[in-house]
Structure 1
Amino acid sequence: MKLPHYTPDGESHPPNSSEPYRSSVLRAPHRPLQLIPQHLTEVTGPLLGPDRVGELDHDLTRQHLAAPLGERIIVSGQVLDANNRPLPNTLVEVWQANSAGRYAHDRDRHDAPLDPNFSGVGRTVTDAQGNYRFVTIKPGAYPWRNHDNAWRPAHIHFSLFGRAFTQRLITQMYFPGDPLFPFDPIYNSVRDEKARQRMISRFDLETTQPEWALSYKFDIVLRGSDASVFEDEEDDQ
């Protein structure tokens, strides 16, 4: 049994090679891509359901002995299909830099401080209405040496697995009003302005918790005219 293949939207999804985003040029394929068919056995195992999620995986501020430094925020939204129907039981993972703009990763050599109480990784499963929710710290901007004085806007990476590894999709969530948007070649590699706007979360006062955390909404649409922008798994942090 072969499953259907959906061609990426070339108008909104970034090209494999974008000259201003220098490392993409080095790793972009030089030959036509070959489609590898996915069969039923490849998308039915291993299953990625609620048993893959720990009690505190959704709350990046409670995974260590003390609270991390920085501005506590809530990030929530819905995962939807092309017909605006919610997608339940979808594994959603996030990873991000800490409030100083540094990842807890060996390859991050930025001289900003690490936070021993913040690993920057979380996961959850959408509920029956396709809703997800994370508690975390607002990430900081960081330099990335793509060009002179290059800084990445504050962002959170999202990974959606569906029910198996072969269904994985990755995108980035940005924050409204970031002054670095015009200068970031990754953000601007998305050619369609409306698609770029869909990568920006919106401040949501209703889900803010008074005297505790601000809140941002970020819905993820898998296909259709309002689809989110997805990227290659090897894209920049």
Structure 2
Amino acid sequence: MHHDETFPVSRRGVIAGGVASATLAAAPVAQAQTQDQVQGTTQPAPPTMPVTLKVNGRTTKLNVDTRTTLLDALRENLKLTGTKKGCDHGQCGACTVIVEGRRINSCLTLAVMHEGEEITTIEGLGTPEKLHAMQAAFVKHDGYQCGYCTPGQICSAVATLGEIKAGIPSHVTGDIAAQPSVTTDELRERMSGNICRCGAYSNIIDAIHDVAGTERTA
């Protein structure tokens, strides 16, 4: 093979040169890290803030990083792991809890924003010995498969019936000035923020109708 003498650099040489350049570029960073270690400097501690959370009827005082989400405070600080972390972006509904009677995605809100508010998680709705009516209906109608989304589904379902009872309209409510009804279309719309990757949607709707004492309309 003919080699062009005007560019007498081998492939091995190119690779060696690249490694040398990367090493030189990293040297100042490594030197700075070494100096920090010698001088004993450390990164400042993250800011924390006291917060009082009322969860499932129990008041707890915490001191948390101000960036801590309500979801992480429930799971990591209070060990209430029934509330699940799914997407952590407010897109799946697995972390749904009820705050002051309204359902929210606990991954999208900070713990320090809920000072003194009443928070209900799946653990606060019922126990294995004394199930909430919605929990019992999910069991009766097989409203779950893997079960990962189920806590959020149940909290959302309970709040959904509360919203309808309170007269809060949805995007499918025909007359927003009238009292909404517990119809299948209403339930599908209101529960649309809770994703079930197993596809148990039909059974979930049946369970909610059962609790509401209404019939499936479609």
Higher strand share: 1
TM range (shorter): under 0.3
Q: Which has the higher helix share?
A: 2
Using structure 1 for the length normalisation, give the TM-score: 0.21
Larger Rg: 2
